[in-house]
Amino acid sequence: MLWYLVNLSIIVIFILLYIISRQTNKRWSKINDYLGQVTNTINSVRYGNLTAQINELGHPSYQNVTESINRMVETLKDREQMVVEYQTELMKQNKLLESVINSLSDGILIVNDKFNILRATPKVIDWFGTKGKDILGKNVNEFIQLPDNITVDKAVNQDIFIMSTPTNNFVLNSIRLNLDEKKRYVLLIKDVTNEREIETLKEDFVATLTHDLKVPIVAEANMLEFFLNGTFGAISEKQYTALTNMKKSNKELVELVQIILDTYKINKAGITLEKESFELNKFVKDTIDEVQPIAENSGLVINFIPNIEEISITADMMQLERVVKNLISNAISHSNTKEKIDVETNIDKNNIKISVIDYGQGISKDEIKLIFNKYYSAANKFRKIGTGLGLYLSQQIVKAHGGEITVNSKENVRTEFCVKIPIN
């Protein structure tokens, strides 16, 4: 009996195990089917098919996972649509920007730290005499020439020569890009041929005109001198005063014409210095003595203040005298307070200093930036004769000596022009 019960129990257990096994296999089969769909959906998404979805399998335990994956796919689909729209808009903007850049009259290049060309606009490709992509990777120095002491990355308003376009004038500016650790430079090349030709024509015209004007003005000065000396007979006191004023105006005209001619010569050939050794204080005093009568006619006195003992300098005496006279003349013109004008000499490190100080209306900060520009004249503001070339010429002369002119001014208080020139 006992053995019978044991056998029966074993049979029941096997039956139960068989039933459980079948149920488990069915469940695993459904799980495998579900996992298969998940795998297929994920693979579809992976390869760009964002329309893939997991079908409902009817089992509530899979519902949350199914909905989450399907929502994720829908979100990816929406994001992809946004990316496509952004890319389309970006391409439109890039095309617009490229069209604008390509339409510029200036040429633009992008080069790396070795100055190899990474990109170039059609203007540059045309000037360089090459074709499209043939220019990429080549060194920019194969196409242009710069002065020996200038490199591409240091070029600022630098004249360059383009070998394939030898008849034109070009100016180069280099700008470093700070986008990443790699060095990149934007090179802006401007064709200034027309501007240079117009400038040359203008200067040639002005030089010819002023040269032709100088002859009758000088003849007029000689004639006025004859009248004042009584060569043509006695003149009245009123006539003498009128002729004296005419002579003064005539002298100013001669000086203006000469300044214009000198500016033209400097622009054409530069300044040639004839240096010699001379004593600084004596030179300044002699120059002041020459212009002292002009200052006295304006009710001014020029004081010479030597703050150093006599020192010998080497410079072009005639050109330096022109600078000092010009600065003193400006001081006389703008010293409307009828006060003194001070001229001082000093030494600053290895430079001699000649300072001309007036106590008139002064110069505004905005004007200080402009007064050395060619043809800018503050005199027009005060209805006085002047072209602005005097200060321009003075600056060029001082630069030729390796020095500089500085300006320090406080309106309606004082103005100081300081010439600094190396001692040796």
Q: What is the pLDDT of residues 21-63, one digit of tens each?
A: 555 555 556 666 666 666 776 676 667 676 777 666 555 666 6
pLDDT category, 123, cuts 50, 70, 90?
confident
pLDDT category, 5, cuts 50, 70, 90?
low
pLDDT category, 386, cuts 50, 70, 90?
very low
In this predicted structure, what is the pLDDT of residue 303?
92
186, 124 Cβ separation under 8 angstroms: no
In this predicted structure, what is the pLDDT of residue 103?
67
In this predicted structure, what is the pLDDT of residue 423?
84
pLDDT digits (tens, 9 = 90+) for 321-366: 889 988 998 888 877 666 789 999 999 888 999 999 988 888 888 7
Question: The pTM is what?
Answer: 0.50
Residues near 50 by Cβ (< 8 Å), separated by ≥ 6?
73, 76, 77, 80
pLDDT category, 380, cuts 50, 70, 90?
very low
pLDDT digits (tens, 9 = 90+) for 241-284: 888 888 877 777 777 777 777 766 666 666 777 889 999 999 99
334, 382 Cβ separation under 8 angstroms: yes
pLDDT digits (tens, 9 = 90+) for 298-329: 888 899 999 989 999 999 898 898 899 889 98
152, 140 Cβ separation under 8 angstroms: yes
